Structure 1
Amino acid sequence: MTAVALTLYPLLAAFILPRVLGRAGWADRAPRLAITLWQAACASVVGSVLLAAFVLAVPPAVVGHGLAAFFAACTAWLTHGTGMTVATTGIAVTVAGAVVTRIAYRTAAVLVRARTERRRHAEVLARLGRHDERLGAIVVDYDERLAYCLPGRRASTVITTGALRSLSPEQVAAVLAHERAHLRGRHHLVVAGAEALATAFPRVPLFERARAELAGLVELLADDMAARRHPRVLIATALVGLATGRTPASALGAGGDTALARVRRMLRPETPLGRGQRLAGALAVGLLLGGPAVVALLPGLGSFLAHHCHELLAR
């Protein structure tokens, strides 16, 4: 029954969770919490699949009686099965291995591709751009109004002369603060993780929706971090000036398709979430991350208690 529950959960969650989380009207009031919830939802689905395979491959008694029996059971998997059938055990281990391998492969592919694109872009910037000590950014002679950051080992912020001509010095400072917030928060890893899951398991609604939502939420979070040091109106007016800019691949930029919606958010900020709402969000994250693990461990815990209670009664 535990394996059935852990198998049904990802099938249902992959379709239900994107609808539930997508309707959260509070996400723009607490983007950091929303990011964590989307990541926890994705992790719970993947984790539940792996734990279902674990439950099928390892009998509860093995978990209940300790690690020594667990390691001994590893050999038994290949010869005698685990109380199910050898075929069931083999399928469970194969599925778990395939899921882990697929995620690892796609994650590596996304990171390597992004690193290659950033290295090439950095080489272009080294030839065409110049470092401005006063701004702490690379300035590129280009008429299009752009401001973005290039993550990586040699992270840098970039702004074009077109943006410098159209923005005031205060607006430029606010925009660059937005880009540095991306770098400090390592938001490119959040986006890369979502991209890896969406490409590893295409057409899964949760992963597809998470990829789109996280890309927008990291921009909201960077706006909020920049607003701690700069007036929101400066960030808003700067976003208007950069709205038509197209950020290069594998970079994170202040402009883009979401800029105008973020302008309204900057000019008309809503009340932040209260303590109770944030606590409820934290509990939801804990439930998503810990729920499948608790379900998987319950049979083993029951076996452990039954074994030791029997020993105590026997004495």
Structure 2
Amino acid sequence: MMAAAVLALYAVVAVVLFPRLLSRGEWAERAPRLAISVWLAACISAVASVVLSALAAAIPANVIGHGLAKFFEACADMFSDDMALTSPGARAALFGAALVSARIIYCGVAILVRTRRERRQHADMLNILGHHDGKLGAVVLDHDEAAAYCLPGRKGRAVITTAALRSLAAEEVAAVLAHERAHLRGRHHLVLAATEAFSQAFPRLPLFTRARNEAARLIELLADDVAARRHSRIHIAAALVRLATGRAPAFTLGAGGETALTRVKRMLSPAAPLGRRERMVGLAAVALLLAGPVVVAAVPGLRSFLAHHCHDIAIF
């Protein structure tokens, strides 16, 4: 029961305090890819802690210990009369774990299905109203609003409007299309789908709401950085200024939007990237967030296994 209590307490602390801790400083802007990983790991860690807490409370440690070698036999024994799972509290804990898992899976699948349908409909529209420009490697859409975005999916494509082509210099067009291709190669729409699933599954909880917003912001910074590897930051900044008011469909990833002006400042005055030691700390934090709840949940079962099968080993 101690492991269950620790995991439950950790989940509460993670949901409330992690958004404040992860938002401190400017480290995320200096390493957006790492920051995205940390936010996702924090969300997974919190949900996993809730599920594992319920399982730890419901399943006795000796069942786990003996079940390391006899997993299927342990699964059958879990519902025998002499097991703790027959108690109402244990059954309620298992039901809660199943409910949490089902909720996040349902929200994730629903988001993927909906956005896939919307993207397919938009792709059909582009096939009719747009035309592929082989020189640009993008679909040109005749529209009087300057905008550039990408349509993710199996046949992802970058899209730019004729108004954007008229307002942007050739170098700026190349830079903004590199930004959109970075989204496509990085499959950033899946990151957004994951954070949106957490947010919808557990609404109004600070961690998941903040993770969704931060992911949307950070993937734009990451795409800017990828584009800046081959294109001038000045050209990227100029393109962002001209596309700042452009509106892309909700199920796409656009170069403009609310974060455009702050990204312009970042392009013109880039901060130094994180050092090697700082990145190692960040990677260690990701590993700890993902592995920590599993380790805490596994300790009672491992101790039980050692106690029953390794009698010569002193159990601490």
* 1:31-42 → structure 2 map (5 Å cutoff): 31-42=32-43
1:92 aligns with 2:93: yes
Cα distance in 2 for residues equivalent to 1:263 and 1:294: 43
With normalisation by structure 2, the TM-score equals: 0.95
SS at match of 2:271: coil
CA distances 1:190-229 after superposition (whole Å, capped 9, x unpaired): 0011001101111111000000000000000000000111
Residue of structure 1 equivalent to 2:78:
77
* 1:265-284 → structure 2 map (5 Å cutoff): 265-284=266-285
1:112 aligns with 2:118: no
Aligned residues: 313
Residue 25 of structure 1 and its aligned partner are, at CA, apart by 1.7
Cα distance in 2 for residues equivalent to 1:311 and 1:233: 68
- Uncovered stretches (5+) of structure 2, i.e. residues with no partner: none
Maintained 8 Å contact 2:33/2:222: yes
Residue 311 of structure 1 and its aligned partner are, at CA, apart by 5.7
SS at match of 1:78: coil
Residue 24 of structure 1 and its aligned partner are, at CA, apart by 3.6
Residue of structure 1 equivalent to 2:154:
153
Residue 50 of structure 1 and its aligned partner are, at CA, apart by 1.3
Q: RMSD of the TM alignment (CA)?
A: 1.5
Which residue identity lines up with residue 147 of structure 1 in the other structure? Answer: A
* 1:96-175 → structure 2 map (5 Å cutoff): 96-175=97-176
Maintained 8 Å contact 1:223/1:235: yes
Residue 127 of structure 1 and its aligned partner are, at CA, apart by 1.0
Moved more, 183-192 or 287-296: 287-296
SS at match of 1:65: helix
Maintained 8 Å contact 1:56/1:84: no
Residue of structure 2 equivalent to 1:17:
18
Residue 57 of structure 1 and its aligned partner are, at CA, apart by 2.6
* 1:152-231 → structure 2 map (5 Å cutoff): 152-231=153-232
SS at match of 2:261: helix
Residue 67 of structure 1 and its aligned partner are, at CA, apart by 3.4
- Uncovered stretches (5+) of structure 1, i.e. residues with no partner: none
Residue of structure 1 equivalent to 2:262:
261
Residue of structure 2 equivalent to 1:298:
299
Maintained 8 Å contact 2:306/2:313: no
Maintained 8 Å contact 1:130/1:140: yes
Maintained 8 Å contact 2:63/2:78: no
Residue of structure 2 equivalent to 1:242:
243
Maintained 8 Å contact 2:67/2:73: no
Maintained 8 Å contact 1:61/1:304: yes
Residue 96 of structure 1 and its aligned partner are, at CA, apart by 1.2
Maintained 8 Å contact 1:151/1:183: yes
Residue 85 of structure 1 and its aligned partner are, at CA, apart by 5.1
Residue of structure 2 equivalent to 1:55:
56
Relative distance call for 1:312 and 1:191 in structure 2 (3 A) is closer
Cα distance in 2 for residues equivalent to 1:31 and 1:197: 20
Residue 88 of structure 1 and its aligned partner are, at CA, apart by 2.2
Cα distance in 2 for residues equivalent to 1:24 and 1:54: 37
Relative distance call for 1:81 and 1:41 in structure 2 (3 A) is farther
